[in-house]
Amino acid sequence: MKNCMSDIDIRYPNHLGLTQARATVEEIARKLSERFGVDYQWVDDALSFERSGVQGRIALDDKDVHVTAKLGFLLAAMKGPIEAEIRRVLAEKLGPAE
């Protein structure tokens, strides 16, 4: 049985266009890598990331940024604050959702 309690699934509007959104996501990934040891790589217009306790993907198109992540047992308890921080960073870097 799939446990959705520790899954994150956020769609956020992309007002920047594909090229600028990709550069912005790359900058965020670089900071996460330096600060938390997150490994990441691009496959087409999707950035996959992983570290102990979390694995996920940020898929880009000209309309949306789609963040998905599976949190391990220890990080699952922090799902709410993690989602809030993702939304805060998306709003800061990509502009307001509306």
Number of domains in the chain: 1
Side-by-side strand order, sheet with 64-71:
7-13, 64-71, 54-60, 46-51, 39-43
Domain that holds residue 54: 4-94
Walk along the chain (98 residues) and give the pLDDT tens digit of each residue. Answer: 344 558 999 999 999 999 999 999 999 999 999 998 999 999 999 999 999 999 999 999 999 999 999 999 999 999 999 999 999 999 999 998 87
- For residue 60, give the CATH number of its domain: 3.30.310.50
Angle at the Cα of 51 (from 49 to 53), degrees rounded to 5?
Answer: 115
Task: Please answer whether residues 17 and 30 qualify as being in contact, where contact means their C-beta atoms are separated by less than 8 angstroms.
Answer: no
**Model-level pTM greater than 0.85?**
yes
pLDDT at 6: 84
Task: Please answer whether residues 94 and 12 qualify as being in contact, where contact means their C-beta atoms are separated by less than 8 angstroms.
Answer: yes
- Our CA dihedral for 70, 75, 80, 86, rounded to 10 degrees, sits at -60
